[in-house]
């Protein structure tokens, strides 16, 4: 029979790696969106989002993403560098 126990260190490592991947993906979304919209404070929002994920977990990190979406996101929908933002979603 195969034992149903696993090494707790391996499980912990997988959980940490998955969590860091989710934090990196959320931070990348904020960076990518702010860059496309030519926001003046790209680095600030990117840093705040990543630190919020690292120190606060999913709730605080997700809250930082929502805060960026409603407060820090410029209202421009076109960019001379990248064209229309709506084109990316079609």
pLDDT tens by residue, 13-28? 999 999 999 999 999 9
Taking only the tens place, the pLDDT of each residue in 51-67 is 999 898 888 888 888 88
* pLDDT value, residue 32: 93
- Is-contact 37 85, C-beta < 8 A? yes
DSSP-assigned letter for residue 69: I
* pLDDT value, residue 82: 56
What pTM does this model have? 0.69
In angstroms, rounded to a whole number, what is the distance separating the alpha carbons of residues 41 and 47? 10
Apex CA 88: angle with CA 39 and CA 46, to 5°? Answer: 35
User: Is residue 87 pLDDT above 60, yes or no?
Assistant: no
């Amino acid at each position: 029979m195969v034992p149903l126990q696993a090494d707790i260190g391996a499980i912990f490592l997988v959980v940490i790696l998955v969590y860091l991947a989710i934090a990196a993906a959320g931070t990348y979304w904020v960076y990518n969106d702010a860059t496309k919209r030519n926001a003046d404070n790209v680095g600030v929002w990117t840093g705040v989002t990543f630190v919020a994920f690292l120190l606060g977990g999913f709730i605080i990190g997700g809250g930082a993403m929502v805060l960026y979406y409603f407060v820090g996101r410029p209202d421009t929908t076109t960019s001379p560098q990248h064209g229309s933002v709506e084109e990316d979603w079609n």
